[in-house]
Amino acid sequence: MVSARTRWGALLWASSIQFFIAQVVVALGWNAPYSLTARYISDLGNTACAAYPVGSSIYICSPWHAGMNASFLLLGLTMAAGAELVAAAFRTGWARAAGLFLISVAGFGVFLVGLFPENENIAVHTAGAALNFISGNLGMIVLGGAGSGSRRFDRVSQAMGILGLVGTVLFVEGRYLGLGQGGMERVAAYPLTVWLSWAGVHFWRIGLRDRENSRASRG
């Protein structure tokens, strides 16, 4: 039976959907159209209206950057806190411990991305993004082998992790396959956030079902 602790963790993970909403809202604040293929996600959190990288011909101006960086920070916190709370949803063992640790590390990386925008500290910002891409996608793969009681959930988890890792490798190598740098970055980054939202809803629904069954058995 799914505990209240697990349900809270599921709710935190499900809240990851806010990350996509924030991107849409912040992009609407741009004077020039924001391109999903040409622009990085981090450009939405850039705190200065200026050429970026410095000396380039690319002008970045994200008036609502504070909202995007707050979204990064919130996502990082809910990823890590949720990983701590949902542990009981997986079978006890090294895979569960390793997978949830990797998701927590990814959350720390996302937090760094929000705390240090690209134009203020690119070194720490890049390190945070790397932690998210690598640890997060590996975490999904490992958790897919941890055993959740649902073969479908396990297979989807591993498929999403593999997709994100392939996207990460292609992004780092500069092979964008016609998607542009922003598009391939999203192939690397989005599987984890989509998975977190889906996994959160998945475990929350199981929790509600278990609670209803428990009430029915008592009544």
Q: What's residue 209's pLDDT?
A: 66
Instruction: Match 């959907």 to its residue by tokens.
Output: 17
The DSSP H or E segment spanning 25 is: helix 18-28
The string of pLDDT tens digits covering residues 3-45 is 788 999 999 999 999 999 999 999 999 999 999 999 999 999 9
Which range marks the domain in which residue 22 is found?
Answer: 4-212
In a domain, 147, yes or no: yes
Number of domains in the chain: 1
Give SS3 for 1.
coil
Residue 142, classified by CB atoms within 10 Å of its CB into exposed (0-12), middle (13-18) or buried (19+), is: buried
Cα distances (angstroms) measured from residue 24 to each of 18, 44, 160? 10, 10, 23
Q: Is the dihedral of CA 16, 45, 34, 172 positive or negative?
A: negative
Burial class of residue 54 in the structure, from the number of CB atoms within 10 Å of its CB (0-12 exposed, 13-18 middle, 19+ buried): exposed
Residues of the chain with pLDDT under 50: none
217 is a domain residue: no
